[in-house]
Structure 1
Amino acid sequence: MLQGWLASLLLVLVVSFSQPVHASKEMTQQEVERWLQSQVVLQKVDDFLLLVEQDDTDGLKFALNRLALPQQEVARFLLLKHIEDNERILSPKMAIFVQGQKSLPPTYTMLERGDGYEFSIPAFNYPAISARLIKRWNSDQKTLEFILQAESEQLVLRDWLSEGSDYERKIREDLLVKEFDSLSPKANAFISQQLTDTNITEWLPSTRVLVRMAQVNEDAALYDLLWKMRADYHSQVELERLASLSSPFAQQQIMAAARNPSLKRQAITELAQITPLPNEVKTFLVTRMTKVEDASFVASQLAQNGHGGWVRDVLSTNSQVKASLVLQALSN
């Protein structure tokens, strides 16, 4: 008797656990399109958007759950898609609601066909939209926190950019680069002076961060720090950008960058391309032609950019220029 009861129980358990927890139903592409264009569902979504504006998450959940399938899934998808497409700002309550949609498994699928493959995808993929919205919301929260800390003069740049994992530090760098120009002059100065008003010997932000801060402020002190750092892609691209501006300030920074051995040749090349050559740039290049290590390269770059005649004039009036090296460069 006991054995029979145990056998029956085992059979029930096997049957129960062998049943899928969530059975999907397949739709054709045409059916999906018809549902997405259903005027009844679209009207419901308009009603739900009013609840979003009112921040009524309880009412929204109740209204959605009252819908029968597949209208319910279509409405969830269209509602979240509208929020995403229109970049609506989510309140904390609404963010929790959106987060909850990610854990609701879609019932309806459709076949995705390609060259030699076929697989099922959600017909109304609201969990994917939910994930993107929450990612954006988290980013918005970090942005708000950064701005509030900067504006209240509570942000310690070194700590803020140094703490956490590599990924967290990268996110903060991205945030500063993106939002630095949106800060008030007061907040901007508070952050910038943490670099320019102290003797920094142990720490500087990355060149990417320093480039952005220097760009926004057009601050010679920030550029001075940048040119002292090890040159990389970001400092090289910034040199190119400065060269495209043709302003006296930009030209001064290119000349300053030449003090960095790794940037010197690029800086000289950019300066040699200026036409006509400003007096300050001429003075700088003449000084470089008095140095054994630079004379040949400077003269060569100037000649390639149509300034050979001016270089010959310099030779005839300045005895400090390394004449033999310059003449050899001009003859090549």
Structure 2
Amino acid sequence: MEKYVLPPEPLTNEAISERLTTQAMLRVNSGLVKKRNLVYLELNGCSGNIISLLNGQNPDFDYTLQSLVNLRYSNSLMVAEGTQAIEQLMEQLDDDFILAVEGAVALKNNGLYNIIGSLEGEPLTGLKAAQMFGEKAAHIISVGACSTHGGVSAAKPNPSESVGLQSVLKEKAIIKLPGCPVHPDWFLGTLSHLLLYGEPETDSLGRPLMFYSTLIHDRCPRRPFFDRGIFAEKLGDKTCLFKLGCRGPVTRVDCPTRQWNGHVNWPIGANTPCIGCSQFGFPDAMAPFISYDTTRVVRDE
């Protein structure tokens, strides 16, 4: 008799990722769920997302990743380099794999502003790699703001003509995890959901609702100050940071309750405004990050 994995009971956003990763590891270890291959491309960006992922705790990113998938390619994490690394990458084209892409896709000069290796004596651009592997992948995850919509790599004046991954894979369904950087829980939770139940429910922009459904403003511990019109006048004040430029009212993500660096703090907790890094349009649409606009009101920005 075939065994089925039951969906998890309703949980808070914060608990969902840990529950999913724990269940996925147990199911993979018991043979109920197949361990999948993962190709992780790093394109035009700062590698901030892979650094953030390596800082993951409870569950630990390195251990969890090895328990969930067969990591077939990662520029930062694999032992092989040069020709050997690219050969390992190309071997995956004929196999089943999940594709994760960090960084924007540079279009300038047919992609030559971002080269990830050499293939048959020719530069292997990030553009070509994204197209080749995007067309063959069973599932695609855009990791971080640059991959989801261009992010900092596509900020004005955008000399590399960088774009988000969806712009070069227009017909493909892509799970988007915006953030600068992405939180380890968002990536591991999404990966675990793929293994257990398939692709998670997303909003109209492709963001998983289990992480990106609620405005920061609606769960911010300083919301009572906003409601009473008590606003910070300078950085360091313990009241609402809205009139110093906080983008919480237009940013959907679970930072207030999930928090960062081992789930211990987040920007507002450190007395700095949210800069809206997980919102589409970041950074240009969220600038300036700090302002002293005493006339600012809540509106759709």
- Do they superpose with TM above 0.5? no
- TM-score normalised by the chain length of structure 1: 0.18
Which of structures 1 and 2 has the bigger CA Rg?
Answer: 1
Which structure dedicates a bigger proportion of its chain to strand? 2
- Name the structure where helix makes up a greater proportion of residues: 1
Q: Which has the higher contact order (CA 8 A, sep 6+)?
A: 2
